[in-house]
């Protein structure tokens, strides 16, 4: 099953195709920024009943010419992928007649080191194909901990947060990203909502995801997008449960489900205020108008 974090690591390049050229600089490879981009079908299935799909496929038009960028999100080493990647590149080249480039985005250093190996395909006397993917892992994307730097390149900061999600720097990156998003105008709310969603997906089920939900609940309360509202509610529910636990208020399984299942930030805010002095969950939920 494809995970949300898997999706975020390649979808960010759909959101901002120019991110590829900026990120590739960290690998010592200079690609000109795209003048225009066309999103291609990721379905590389042939007429035979064998389905092959690349994660993201973009045709880039640059001042140096055209190329097709295939982006693969990889969470762990998988020897079977080497043949698949070689197939993708050969098929794309045959189908579009445009030079292909493979970018593999890896969430951990071990996977990045595995993916970065050059693979010769064919007998040792004369390999017919050589697979040389570009690889972005935690060591290839800088830690962006400054709000000003984050504001200059929000997509790269989202990628930085996803790839450093298990590092000690994750907290600083997320704080910088939240402040950068807060600086966007009201007209950019839709774009901000997309980056909020991609960040949440990219963090997966790590402690950094809890930090992000808290930041969404506190720092971005003015955003009204569905994703922002969902994250805000999740952060408030978590804060409420922590408060009740700290105060020693008994929480039944039913009470916990009610709090976690409430998606209304206003209701959760009311419950939190009552929880500051309540001695039972009955006091928190009591009286008309407070039900979720």
The model's pLDDT over 54-92, given as tens digits with 9 standing for 90+, comes to 899 999 999 999 999 999 999 999 999 999 999 999 999
How far is it between the farthest Cα atoms of the chain? 81
Total-model pTM: 0.73
Q: Which of 71-75, 196-200, 218-222 has the lowest mean pLDDT?
A: 218-222
**SS3 category, 102:** strand
- Give the pLDDT band (50/70/90) at residue 291: very low
Under the phi-then-psi rule, with left for phi > 0, alpha for psi from -120 to 50, and beta for the rest, what region is 36? Answer: beta
Sheet holding 56-62, edge to edge: 36-39, 56-62, 65-74, 100-106, 134-136
Neighbour tally for 167: CB within 10 Å? 14
Task: Indicate if the pLDDT at residue 209 is higher than 60.
Answer: yes
Residue 283 has which token pair?
Answer: 């006091």
φ, ψ for residue 238, nearest 5 deg: -65, -45
**Alpha-helix runs per DSSP H in 116-188:** 147-152, 154-163, 170-182
| % of residues, the chain, pLDDT over 70 | 89
Q: 111 versus 123: which is more confidently predicted?
A: 111
At 2 the pLDDT is: 53
Q: What CA–CA distance (Å, rounded) separates 176 from 147?
A: 4
Q: Which residues contact 84 (CB under 8 A, 6 or more apart)?
A: 52
Higher pLDDT, 232 or 79: 79
What pLDDT shows up at residue 224? 60
In angstroms, rounded to a whole number, what is the distance separating the alpha carbons of residues 264 and 289?
A: 12
Whole-Å CA distances, 244 to 51, 82, 268, 273, 279: 50, 51, 13, 11, 9
The whole-chain average pLDDT of the chain stands at 87
**Arithmetic mean of pLDDT, 213-240:** 72
- 186: tokens are 């009201």
The two structure tokens encoding residue 90: 């050969």
Residue that is written with structure tokens 């007429």 in the block: 47
Residue 93 CB neighbours (<10 A): 13
């Amino acid at each position: 099953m494809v995970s949300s974090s898997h999706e975020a690591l390649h979808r960010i390049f759909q959101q901002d195709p120019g991110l590829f050229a900026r990120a590739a600089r960290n690998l010592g490879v200079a690609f000109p920024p795209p003048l225009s981009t066309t999103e291609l079908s990721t379905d590389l299935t042939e007429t035979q009943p064998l389905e092959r799909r690349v994660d993201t496929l973009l045709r880039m038009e640059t001042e140096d010419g055209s190329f097709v960028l295939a982006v693969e999100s990889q969470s762990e080493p998988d020897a079977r992928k080497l043949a698949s990647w070689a197939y993708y590149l050969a098929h794309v080249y045959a189908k579009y007649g445009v030079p292909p480039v493979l970018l593999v985005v890896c969430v951990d250093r071990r996977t990045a080191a595995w993916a970065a190996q050059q693979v010769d395909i064919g007998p040792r006397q004369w390999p017919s194909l050589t697979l040389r993917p570009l690889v972005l892992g935690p060591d290839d994307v800088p830690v962006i901990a400054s709000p000003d730097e984050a504001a200059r390149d929000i997509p790269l900061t989202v990628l930085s947060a996803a790839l450093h999600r298990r590092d000690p720097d994750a907290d600083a990156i997320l704080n910088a990203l939240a402040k950068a998003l807060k600086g966007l105008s009201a007209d950019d709310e839709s774009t901000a909502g997309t980056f909020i969603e991609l960040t949440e997906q990219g963090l997966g089920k790590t402690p950094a995801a809890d930090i992000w939900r808290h930041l969404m609940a506190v720092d971005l309360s003015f955003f009204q997008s569905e994703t922002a509202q969902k994250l805000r509610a999740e952060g408030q529910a978590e804060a409420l449960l922590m408060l009740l636990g700290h105060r020693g208020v008994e929480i039944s399984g039913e009470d916990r489900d009610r709090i976690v299942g409430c998606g209304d930030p206003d209701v959760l805010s009311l419950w939190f205020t009552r929880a500051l002095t309540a001695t039972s969950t009955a006091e928190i939920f009591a009286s008309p108008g407070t039900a979720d």
